[in-house]
A and B are shown apart, each in its own frame.
Chain A
Amino acid sequence: MSTAYDDVRGADPIAQPPVLAPGHTPASVTERISEAVTTKLTKTPKWWLGGFAVGFALLNVFLFAVTNLFMTGIGVWGNNIPVGWGWDIICFVWWIGIGHAGTLISAILLLLRQSWRNSINRFAEAMTVFAVACAGMYPILHLGRPWLPHWLLPLPGTLGMWPNFRSPLIWDVFAVSTYATISIVFWYVGMLPDLATLRDHAKAKFARFAYGMAALGWRNSARHWANYEVASLLLAGLSTPLVLSVHSIVSFDFSVGIVPGWHTTVFPPYFVAGAVFAGFAMVLTLVLPLRPLFKLHDFITERHLQNMAKVMLTTGLIVAYGYVLEIWAAFYSGNEFEIFMVLNRFTGPYATQYWLLILLNIAIPQLLWLKGVRSNVWALWAISMCINVGMWLERFVIIVVSLHRDYVPSNWAMYSGTKFDVMTFVGTMGLFLTLLLLFIRFLPALNMFEMRVLTPEATKAHGEEK
């Protein structure tokens, strides 16, 4: 079986490392991936139990923080006029941005026929769904009356009025709810054939029944595949503009306002690039430890790490361009408030956060130009952590630094999050970790049927090499 790869690489002297280690067949791929899910509950790996304990403990921190919030009110958070948006919106944008890499990997790379995505797309899609779930908490928690979130929707009611369709905040409701729905649908549709595989290969009777119900009777029929492939492409085609629209609309929440530093046209593309940048960093943060834990080196090869590092470097440069353009636009405008905002970022009370952001998001990722860094898993993981923190600081700088010094000096104030802000944020991480660990234990974290496509046997059947 390994000869097929030798042929390909022999024909192409600059061939990259393979996207699937040689020697795999559809059966071996299926067995290796489903093994992680079909092992007995009593044989759950210890690292999983440890990770789940941490995630579940943090989830209870979230429960505590939210209970306190509901009983006391949003005064427990640090938000106050003039900084009416604080950690809640920072973390909302941070989480939703992380989700975008999942859609990029699953949709855009599918349309571009990048077959290296086949092993990481499922995991990235799951990351999207869970990150959107975490993001979705914040607008509801910030409502003040969190039992009335349906007022955001245009539903007929006793109020006798409708949401304002001219407001970016209602666009945001449409964008985020559509994004959550379509991400879940895309994820589930993508999983159908693999749920059928688990139904066929699970050992426990209940597992067979549960996966069987979830697989909806999928039977790998050619008639099924014909409609399925078209539906997948259409979902990818719809998700691609969707993901661009979602973060553009998130950026409209700011750029439609007239706060200095927010009212610029560079926001939509710069937010989208930042989202992809942050999302790829989070994929690497999670995939790098999972690769040795599940022994996935055959499926997540050096090629994947190299490619993800390159995407991070590219989107990081777009983000850097956004930062430069913000400064340029402020001076070019000649508007004293805009110029003050930039100088205040450089030298004001939050200058530490600003320069730390430049260091973490722009300076450090430049190391990715070096091939040695891109293929060193420890260096990659450290850089991805830097970007995770850097992107959080970016939203802090955009939101807090602009709001705390607006037009009227008598209105100026300092802002800091309270312990409940921190607990809520750490709590959403618990929610994310809990969901993610449940996912990798009970659902196929790697796409089995698309990995079968990468085996030499299947590429031969397709009559073409990718």
Chain B
Amino acid sequence: MHGTHPEPSLHGVLAEFRTPDELLAAIEAAKSAGYTKLDAYTPYPIEKVLDALDLHHSKVPLLTLGAAIFGAVAVFSFAYWASAIDYPLNIGGRPLNSWPAFIPATFEGAVFHGGLAAALGMLVLNGLPRPHHPVFEVKRFVEHASKDGYFLLVEADDPRFDVSAVRRLLEGLAPVEVNDLEN
């Protein structure tokens, strides 16, 4: 694979477009040219871009569910163990395993763990924190990606990646500019 790379340290080729529609057209063009390792950069989430890049398979929900179940089981078991086994306390003759009374803390345990898993899971799956990334080397990316620029990245680890072919394709789509990204 590495033999086909003219620049082994290349991260990819980045093209900037003016509108979401131009970006979507570029994604379609790149897809029909056979490229699969694509990423887009938009100043706000655009459902059609996520559809076009087939990104609706987030693992965050599964992580959140797992963590919430863990939290509920952990808090309930602890409340049971503490109240019925380790420190049995007879309060007005009520049963030691007075489980309905353990439910509020159990619920909070589920929300606590689920919420943290959703946030941390999102960060970890996104590869964050990562203060630096090759795209930040592009001046116009820094100026416009979080404001009004729509960028398409064809990554160098795409099996069909070839710098000159990718550049030719992107330059044919009337971009603002095209940049090679170095790792």
Binding site for B on A (CB under 8 A): 25-27, 30-31, 154, 161-166, 168, 170-171, 174-175, 177-178, 181-182, 185-186, 188-189, 193, 196-197, 200-201, 212-213, 216-231, 234-235, 238-239, 241-242, 245, 249, 252, 449-450, 452-453, 457-458, 460-463
B89 interface residue (CB < 8 Å to A): yes
- Render B109-147 as a binary contact track against A, CB cut-off 8 A, 1 for contact: 101101110110111011011111101100000110111
A462 to B21, CA, bound (A): 10
**Which of B19, B79, B98, B147 meets A30, CB within 8 Å?**
B147
Asked whether A217 and B41 contact (CB < 8 A) given A27-B147, A222-B50, the answer is no
Contact B46 A189 (CB under 8 A): no
A19 to B122, CA, bound (A): 29
Q: Which of B58-66, B156-164, B166-174 contacts A (4 or more CB under 8 A)?
A: B58-66
A241 to B112, CA, bound (A): 12
**Which of B42, B59, B132 meets A222, CB within 8 Å?**
B42
**Which of A30, A178, A188, A458 meets B46, CB within 8 Å?**
A458
Task: Offer 11 A-B interface pairs, CB within 8 angstroms, sorted by A.
Answer: A166-B94, A170-B105, A171-B105, A217-B131, A229-B45, A230-B58, A235-B115, A238-B114, A239-B111, A245-B108, A461-B46
Q: A217-B128, A228-B45, A461-B46 are in contact. List 9 more A-B contacts (CB 8 A).
A: A30-B148, A162-B82, A162-B83, A171-B108, A217-B132, A221-B41, A222-B46, A238-B68, A461-B48
A266 to B108, CA, bound (A): 22
A263 to B167, CA, bound (A): 73
A463 to B83, CA, bound (A): 56
Residue of A25, A193, A219 with most partner-chain B CB within 10 A:
A219
Residue of B nearest to A175 (CB): B108
Chain B hits for A217, CB < 8 A: 128-133
Contact B115 A220 (CB under 8 A): no
B78 interface residue (CB < 8 Å to A): yes
Contact A166 B91 (CB under 8 A): yes
B93 interface residue (CB < 8 Å to A): no
Asked whether A200 and B94 contact (CB < 8 A) given A221-B41, A457-B20, the answer is no
Binding site for A on B (CB under 8 A): 19-21, 24, 39-50, 53, 55-56, 58-61, 64, 68, 75, 78-79, 82-83, 86-87, 89, 91, 94, 98, 101-102, 104-105, 107-109, 111-112, 114-116, 118-119, 121-123, 125-126, 128-133, 135-136, 142-143, 145-148
Contact A245 B107 (CB under 8 A): yes
Chain B hits for A224, CB < 8 A: 126, 128
A140 to B79, CA, bound (A): 23
**Which of B116, B125, B135 meets A219, CB within 8 Å?**
B135
Contact A166 B119 (CB under 8 A): no
Contact A461 B102 (CB under 8 A): no
Contact B146 A197 (CB under 8 A): yes
A375 to B136, CA, bound (A): 46
Asked whether A221 and B119 contact (CB < 8 A) given A241-B111, A458-B46, the answer is no
A274 to B137, CA, bound (A): 52
**Which of A200, A216, A226 meets B147, CB within 8 Å?**
A200
Residue of B nearest to A168 (CB): B104
Contact A449 B44 (CB under 8 A): yes
Name the distance in Å between A19's Cβ and chain B's nearest Cβ.
15
Top-3 shortest CB links A-B:
A461-B20, A231-B122, A226-B55
Residue of A nearest to B84 (CB): A165
Chain B hits for A220, CB < 8 A: 41-43, 145-146
Name the distance in Å between A402's Cβ and chain B's nearest Cβ.
22
Chain B hits for A227, CB < 8 A: 58-60, 121-122, 125-126
